[in-house]
Chains A and B, each alone.
Chain A
Amino acid sequence: MTALGFWTLVVDDEEAIRESLSAWLTKDGYRVVMAASGPDALTAMEQRLFDIYLVDVKMPGMDGIELLTRIKERQPDAIIIIITAHGTIQTAVDAMKRGASDYICKPFDPEALSLIMERVAATKALRDENISLREQLMERVDLGGDGIVAQSDAMQGVFTTIEDVAPAASAVLIRGETGVGKELVARAIHTAGLRPYGPFVALNCGAHTETLLESELFGHEKGAFTGAAKVRRGRLEMANGGTLFLDEIGDIPPKMQVSLLRVLEEKEFQRMGGNQVIETDFRLISATHRDLTQLIREGRFREDFFYRINVIRIDIPPLRDRLEDVAPLADYFLERYSRETGKRILGLTQRALGMLMAYHWPGNVRELRNVMERAVVLARGQMIGAEELAFVNTQSDECRLGTLTLQESEISHIRNALETCGWNISHAAKQLDIDRSTLTRKIKRYQLKGP
Chain B
Amino acid sequence: MPPTAPTDALRAEPRPLTELVPLGAINQLAADVVAGNLQAILELTTDILPPQSLPQEAFMSARRQYDAVKIINHLSAVPSIRAPICLGLTSCDMGTPILTYVYGESQLGGRVAVVSFYRLTTAGREMTLARLTKLSLHEVGHVLGLGHCWEHSCLMRSIRNIDQLDKLDLAFCETCSFEINRRIRQMRAKGAGSVGPPDATPTITGTD
Chain A residues within 8 Å of B, Cβ to Cβ? 2, 14, 16-17, 19-24, 26-29, 106-111, 113-114
Contact = CB atoms under 8 A, between A and B. Distances in A.
A84 to B, nearest CB: 12
Interface string B137-169: 000001000011010000000101100000000
Given A20-B97, A110-B99, 8 more contacts: A2-B150, A16-B69, A23-B108, A27-B108, A27-B147, A29-B148, A107-B95, A108-B100
B204 interface: yes
A24 B207 contact: yes
A113 B96 CA distance: 13
Residue of A14, A23, A29, A108 most packed against chain B (CB within 10 A): A23
Given A14-B97, A106-B98, A26 B158 contact: no
B100 A107 contact: yes
Contacts of A29: 147-148
Nearest to B98: A20
B102 interface: yes
A289 B91 CA distance: 74
Contacts of A108: 98-100
A311 to B, nearest CB: 30
Contacts, number: 70
A110 B160 contact: yes
Interface in B184-208: 203-207
A20 B158 contact: no
B141 to A, nearest CB: 10
B155 to A, nearest CB: 14
A20 B148 contact: no
A27 B99 contact: no
Contacts of A23: 108, 203-206
Contacts of A14: 97
- By secondary structure, the B interface counts as loop
A31 to B, nearest CB: 11
B148 A27 contact: yes
Contacts of B96: 20, 107
Contacts of A27: 108, 142, 147-148, 158, 205-206
Given A110-B207, A114-B160, A17 B97 contact: yes
Contacts of A26: 108, 147, 203, 205-206
A70 to B, nearest CB: 24
B165 to A, nearest CB: 12
Interface residues on B, range: 20 to 34
A29 B158 CA distance: 10
A14 B147 CA distance: 25
Contacts of B203: 19, 22-23, 26
27 contacts: A16-B69, A16-B97, A17-B97, A19-B203, A19-B204, A22-B203, A23-B203, A23-B204, A23-B205, A24-B98, A24-B206, A24-B207, A26-B108, A26-B147, A27-B206, A28-B147, A28-B158, A106-B98, A107-B97, A107-B98, A107-B99, A107-B100, A110-B102, A111-B160, A111-B161, A113-B98, A113-B99
Interface string B92-134: 0001111111100000100000000000000000000000000
Contacts of A2: 150
A29 B97 CA distance: 21
Interface in B58-111: 63, 69, 95-102, 108
A23 B205 CA distance: 4
B147 A109 contact: no
B119 to A, nearest CB: 11
A20 B147 contact: no
Contacts of A21: 98
Contacts of A110: 99-102, 160, 207
A406 to B, nearest CB: 70
B69 A20 contact: yes
Contacts of B205: 23-24, 26-27
B206 to A, nearest CB: 4
Contacts of A22: 203
A248 B205 CA distance: 51
A17 B148 CA distance: 21
Contacts of A19: 69, 203-204
A21 B98 CA distance: 7
A17 B97 CA distance: 6
Contacts of B204: 19-20, 23
A140 B119 CA distance: 55
Nearest to A20: B98
Contacts of A24: 98-99, 205-207
B33 to A, nearest CB: 25
A88 to B, nearest CB: 16
A4 to B, nearest CB: 8
B150 to A, nearest CB: 6
Nearest to B147: A27
A331 to B, nearest CB: 49
